[in-house]
Structure formats: structure tokens, C-alpha cells
Amino acid sequence: MRIATWNVNSVKQRLPRLLPWLDERQPDVVCLQETKLADDKLAELFGSELGDRGYAVAAHGEAAWNGVAILSRVGLDDVIAGLPGGPGFPHQEARAVAALNRSAGGKAYRLPHTGGMFYADGVTKIPAAAVAAEDAETIAHLAAQGEVKLKLVLTPQTLPDAESANVIADLKGSEKPDEIIIVSGHLDSWDLGTGAIDDAAGVGVAMQVANLVKQLKLQPKRTIRVVAWMNEENGGAGGRTYFQSIQANLAKHIAALECDNGAGHPTGFRARGQALGQGVIAKDR
């Protein structure tokens, strides 16, 4: 039997890759994490695609943050959807004392990419941690030989908020200076790294936009606003505070771009927005 796991980090985003991967690898059971879809939306998204491939599906999740799904070509029996200790969970005595997650990153660097961890309302909070890919492989190898016991020592703590700031610079537009296009990255970083890729590289890209416009002697119609956001990794307080501060001028913000996907060769844009907003950009770019 071939069993596979995949932290998809939004199954909607991975759908164009997921279905061809199923066809190529032919796993019997697939465990998907971070689907970011409510229970009924998973079946709606896939339609008959999974059933046509012989997979039964069990899913449990939320629309924005979490979610898991099991795809099985060997059947699904006695499916229980919920969290131990959570509302409606039938086996209140069933519980975990801690949770370990293999690094969410795709590379083996001896450093874990922790992802994000949240507790559902009303459940007992337990320790949770990420382990590097190499350590996860070692644990899996040992577990295949018998029982594995771990001593888990966690030192992270949540400290009180401290005052900080976004860094903002404007390159005034020639025709519509009151209309704003934001280009941005974020200043803060994960604690295990220097922040060079996540996201000093993005801040550098945003700064270079204004620099190149000046070097090329271009005259943008609208104001280009370069922003280095604070607190992106730990809750997005910099972005939320900015949003709250511009309510009186929100309609004048035409678009906002953030570079936060590393320092590789750019291949395009990923956009969110209403059709009206996209039409305005296409018409007057």
C-alpha cells in the first residue's frame, strides 16, 4: 500500500498540481493538511474528479486557516470528524499530549519551517512543535521498528506587544498624485533565520521599483508608495494598522502588491480583488 502526506497550504492553490500528481504517483491513501476549506467545500471544489479516480473522501476544516482531508482508494470506515476534547467529539477520553509536525518547507536545511499553529475554541491546549525534515525522517524510521518515546522541551513564549512602525516612502504621481499604488515587503522575520529571503529580498524588490522608475526617468501617473511592513509574521499588525489609518482615503488606494515569495526569478503575479478593481487596473495601467 502506498500512503502519502502533503501539506498543501490551500488545496485551491494546489489543485492544478494535485490531480496530475495523483495520476502520476497513484497513492492508495493521501493525507492532506492545511486544506483551508470548510467540510462541504472540498467536495464542491473537486466535483467528480476524486470519485472518478476511485477515491473516497473524508474532510474536516475551516475556510481560512486549517483543515485536513483523507483520500482513500481502500475505503473509509468509522470516520470521526473533530478534535479530541472539542464540541461533539464522541471519545472525550481520547487525547494527545503533544503534537509534532514535520517542517512545512520543501527542503532539508536542518531548520524547521514551523508554519502557524492555532487552537480551536473550547479545546484543551497542548504543546505543539515542528521538527526539521531530517529529524522527521529519523523518527519515522525508528517508529517503523517499534515504539518511540520523545522528551519534548519547548522554550517559546508570547511576550507583550512592543511599539514599532512600518517604513513608508512615496514617489509622487504626475497626474493623479492622490491615488496610490503600494509596492511592499515586510521587515520582520522568523526567529531561526536572518530574514534575508523572508523578507528582506521583498523589501529590496519594493525599494528597487521606485529606484528604477527614477533611474529610467519615468513619470508614474499615480503615487507609488513603498512600504516595509512590520509584524507580518506574528499577526500582521503593521498591515492592519495601516488599513485602519487610511479609511478616509481607502478609495484612493488603487492596488497593493507585496513581494514575499523569496528571491527567485519572478514568474508573475497572484492577484485577489473584485472584478471592478481588476477592470480599473486593466483599463488604466
Q: Tens digit of pLDDT for each residue in 156-165?
A: 887 888 899 9
Q: Is residue 158 in a domain?
A: no
Look up residue 143 and give its DSSP letter: H
pLDDT at residue 263, rounded to an integer: 80
Does 97 lie in the same domain as 189?
A: no
Q: Is residue 150 in a domain?
A: no
Partners of residue 6 on adjacent β-strands: 32
> Is residue 178 scored above 90 in pLDDT?
yes
Q: How many domains does the chain have?
A: 2
Structural domain including 87 reads 3-143
Does 186 lie in the same domain as 107?
A: no
Any idea which of 15-19, 32-36, 90-94, 149-153 has the lowest mean pLDDT? 90-94
Helix or strand (DSSP H, E) at 281:
helix 275-283
**Interior/surface letters 160-172, b for 16+ CB within 10 angstroms, e for the rest:** eeeeeebeeeebe
At 88, the pLDDT band (50, 70, 90 cuts) reads low
Helix or strand (DSSP H, E) at 99:
strand 99-102
Q: Is residue 148 in a domain?
A: no
Does 71 lie in the same domain as 8?
A: yes
- Give yes or no for a contact between 213 and 171, defined as CB atoms under 8 angstroms apart: yes
Cell numbers standing for residue 212 = 528604477
Out of 128, 143, 158, a domain closes at 143
Which active-site residues does the annotation give? Answer: 232
> Is residue 148 scored above 60 in pLDDT?
yes
